[in-house]
Amino acid sequence: MPVVRSSQAVAHEMHGARFVSYATPLTGSKELCAWRGEIPAGTKAPAHTVNREEIFHLLHGELLITVDGRTDRVFAGDTVIVNPGATLTVENPTDHTAVSWVTTSHGLEAELADGTRITPPWAN
């Protein structure tokens, strides 16, 4: 049984947010990837369309999450299910960092509005 210690987690920065990767094929996961997201106050990530389902659970704070044009204010303890092909935007309109836990399947890619494709290292 692989155990990933907090000291072994790998941090990545993109679009003003921090992604701390725990479960990937590199750490022993066969199918799933999981990471902690840290979204600083005032951050608004660009809209992106995902090719894999994401389960987004907010641990601390509150966010505005838009999925396919519908915006919801999400609070600590809430979970958002983002289906494959959905377009997602995450915004932190508060004055403190929000913390999330996200799980997806290996092979996640995101496409930005301008057609740029991203293969995030914390999800592959």
Q: pLDDT tens digit string along 30-80?
A: 999 999 999 999 999 999 999 999 999 999 999 999 999 999 999 999 999
10 three-state secondary structure:
strand
- pTM of the predicted protein model: 0.93
AA letter at 67 = V
Task: Please state the rounded mean pLDDT for residues 12-21.
Answer: 96
Question: What is the largest distance, in Å, between two alpha-carbon atoms of the chain?
Answer: 41
Cα–Cα distance between 11 and 116 in angstroms, integer?
22
CB 33 within 8 A of CB 123: yes
How far out from the chain centre does Cα 76 lie? 15
Domains in the chain and their CATH numbers? 8-123 (2.60.120.10)
Q: What is the mean pLDDT of the chain?
A: 96
